[in-house]
C-alpha cells in the first residue's frame, strides 16, 4: 500500500550572503519509495547475471540495463507498477526474468536538470558499499532516458512508519536502532568516502527500513561531492523545508554540518513523533526545531524527559537512551554550524550511550547565542514560506492537513 504526504522543497537561485535572497517555494506530493536491500553480488541467488556492456561504466559489480528490459520489467511503466513520485522522477516496481524484484527510478530530464541529477547519482552511488546505505543495482542510459535500478524491499520509509496514517507505534528499541544505523551511514559518507560526500537532503522519507528495522540512507539525487575545500558555495540551495540548516538556506554555504543539522531534525522526529513542519500546530510551534529548542534545554538540565517523548510510546522507553538521543539532537541542531558535532562523534555517542562529549567545550545554552537579527530574519522567512504553502494548497483545493 502506498501513502502520500505533502512535502515542501525549495531551491534558491543566485544565492548571496544575505538572508533576503529570494526563495521559490514549490509544493509537490511525494510518494514513498520502498527501501532497498544490500546489493546482491554477482552469481548469488541468481542464474542471470547482468554485466555492463560499457567498459567505462560502473564496473563489474554494477549492471547495465537496456530500456527494453526495464519496459518489460515494469509492465510498460504502467500505473499499476507506480510506487511513487519524487522531485526528479517516478519510481516503478519491476520484476526481472530471474524473479528478482527491483525499483526503477525514471528521471525527468527537463531543462537538463534530470541528466545532471542522474550523472551525479550514478557516480556517487557507484563508490558506496555500506550496510546502512542503499546500494545501486544498475542503470540505463539510452537516448535521452536516464534510469536507476535498485533492489526492491517493501518495508517503506521512516517517515511512513512514524507519520503514516493508521500505522502502529514504532517501538522505542527500533527508533534507537534506526537512529544509530542512519548515523553510521551518514558518517561513512562524510568521513570514509574519498572524496567526501554531502547528502544534502537528509530526511525521514530518505531513510529506508528493512524488515529488521535496519536503516538505509537513500536518494543521493541531491548529493553534492565535497571537494578539497572545507566548504562549498552553491548557487542552488536544495533540500526539504523543515530540514535545511539555517546557514545553508540563507547563504548557500554547504558543509557536512548541513547534513548534521538535518539529521538532528530526524532525531527529533524519532524522539517526539512530530513532523518537521506541522501547520496544524499553534502559531509559532509549526517548526519542530523551534518548538523543541527550549524543551531540549530543560530536559538536559532537569532530566525531565516526558515533555519531549512521543506520547504514543506511553513511557515505554529506556530513559538513559532517550536522554542520549535528546543530547545528540540538541547538539546537531545548534545554530552555529561549527559547534555541531561531526557524524563520527554522533556514532560514538550512540555506541557509548552518551559517554561522548558533544559540547565542543561549551556549556549548555552557549551554542544557542547568536545574532538576534539573524534569528528574527530566519523566523520571518519560515513564516513567509509557510504562508506561501498554505496559499498554494488552498488555491489547488487541497487542505493543508489532508496529507494529499
Q: Give domain limits for the chain.
A: 4-28+156-395, 63-151
Q: pLDDT tens-digit profile of 341-391?
A: 999 999 999 998 755 556 554 443 344 434 445 555 555 666 666 666 655
Domain 4-28+156-395: CATH class, spelled out: mainly alpha
Domain formed by 63-151, architecture: 2-Layer Sandwich (3.30)
Confidence grade of residue 81 (pLDDT, cut at 50, 70, 90):
very high
Whose cell is 567498459? That residue is 55
> Which pLDDT score is estimated for 107?
78
> Which pLDDT score is estimated for 50?
29
| 129-138, 256-265, 330-339: range with lowest mean pLDDT | 129-138
Position with higher pLDDT, 18 vs 304:
304
Q: pLDDT tens-digit profile of 89-116?
A: 788 999 999 999 898 988 776 555 556 6
Position with higher pLDDT, 130 vs 311:
311
Catalytic-residue membership of 201:
yes
Q: pLDDT tens-digit profile of 169-215?
A: 999 999 999 999 999 999 999 999 877 889 989 999 989 999 999 99
Set of cell numbers at residue 196? 567526501
Q: What angle do CA 198, 199, 201 make, to 5 degrees?
A: 135
Which of 151, 201, 219, 310 is labelled catalytic? 201
Query: Which residue in 194, 199, 86, 82 sits closest to 132, CA to CA?
Result: 199
- Which residues carry a binding-site annotation for ATP? 105
**Buried/exposed code over 338-374 (b: 16+ C-beta within 10 A; e: otherwise):** ebbbebbbbbbbbeeebebebeeeeeeeebbeeeeee
Q: pLDDT tens-digit profile of 368-378?
A: 434 445 555 55
**Above 90 in pLDDT, residue 261?**
yes
**Above 50 in pLDDT, residue 52?**
no
**What is the average pLDDT value for the chain, to the nearest integer?**
75
Cα–Cα dist 108/362, whole Å? 46
Confidence grade of residue 30 (pLDDT, cut at 50, 70, 90):
very low
> Which pLDDT score is estimated for 286?
94
Amino acid at each position: 500500500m502506498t501513502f502520500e504526504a505533502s512535502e515542501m522543497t525549495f531551491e534558491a537561485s543566485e544565492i548571496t550572503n544575505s538572508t533576503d535572497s529570494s526563495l521559490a517555494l514549490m509544493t509537490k506530493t511525494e510518494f514513498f519509495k520502498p527501501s532497498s536491500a544490500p546489493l546482491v553480488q554477482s552469481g548469488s541467488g541468481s542464474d542471470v547475471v547482468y554485466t555492463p556492456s560499457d567498459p567505462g561504466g560502473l564496473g563489474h559489480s554494477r549492471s547495465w540495463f537496456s530500456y527494453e528490459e526495464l519496459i518489460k520489467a515494469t509492465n510498460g511503466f504502467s500505473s499499476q507498477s507506480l510506487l511513487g513520485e519524487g522531485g526528479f522522477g517516478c519510481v516503478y516496481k519491476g520484476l526481472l526474468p530471474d524473479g528478482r524484484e527491483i525499483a526503477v527510478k525514471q528521471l525527468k530530464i527537463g531543462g537538463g536538470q534530470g541528466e545532471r541529477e542522474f550523472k551525479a547519482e550514478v557516480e556517487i552511488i557507484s563508490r558506496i558499499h555500506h550496510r546502512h546505505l542503499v546500494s545501486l543495482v544498475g542503470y540505463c542510459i539510452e537516448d535521452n532516458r536516464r534510469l536507476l535500478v535498485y533492489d526492491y524491499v517493501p518495508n517503506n520509509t521512516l517517515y511512513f512508519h512514524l507519520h503514516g496514517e493508521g500505522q502502529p507505534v514504532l517501538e522505542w528499541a527500533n527508533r534507537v536502532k534506526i537512529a544509530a544505523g542512519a548515523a553510521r551511514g551518514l558518517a561513512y559518507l562524510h568521513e570514509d568516502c574519498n572524496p567526501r560526500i554531502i547528502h544534502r537532503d537528509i530526511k525521514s522519507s530518505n531513510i529506508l527500513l528493512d524488515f529488521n528495522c535496519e536503516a538505509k540512507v537513500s536518494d543521493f539525487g541531491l548529493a553534492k561531492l565535497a571537494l578539497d575545500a572545507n566548504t562549498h558555495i552553491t548557487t542552488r540551495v536544495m533540500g526539504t523545508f523543515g530540514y535545511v540548516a539555517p546557514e545553508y538556506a540563507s547563504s548557500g554555504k554547504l558543509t557536512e554540518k548541513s547534513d548534521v543539522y538535518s539529521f538532528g531534525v530526524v532525531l527529533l522526529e524519532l524522539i517526539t513523533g512530530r513532523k518537521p513542519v506541522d501547520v496544524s500546530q499553534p502559531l509559532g510551534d509549526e517548526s519542530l526545531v523551534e518548538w523543541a529548542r527550549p524543551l531540549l534545554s530543560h530536559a538536559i538540565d532537569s532530566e525531565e524527559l516526558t515533555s519531549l517523548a512521543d506520547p504514543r510510546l506511553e513511557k515505554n522507553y529506556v530513559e538513559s537512551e532517550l536522554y542520549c538521543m535528546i543530547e545528540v539532537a540538541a547538539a546537531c541542531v545548534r545554530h552555529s554550524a561549527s559547534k555541531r558535532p561531526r557524524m563520527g562523534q554522533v556514532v560514538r555517542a550512540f555506541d557509548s550511550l552518551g559517554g561522548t562529549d558533544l559540547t565542543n567545550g561549551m556549556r549548555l545554552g552557549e551554542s544557542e547565542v547568536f545574532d538576534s537579527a539573524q534569528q528574527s530574519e530566519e523566523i520571518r522567512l519560515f513564516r513567509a514560506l509557510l504562508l506561501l504553502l498554505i496559499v498554494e494548497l488552498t488555491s489547488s483545493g487541497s487542505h493543508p492537513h489532508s496529507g494529499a
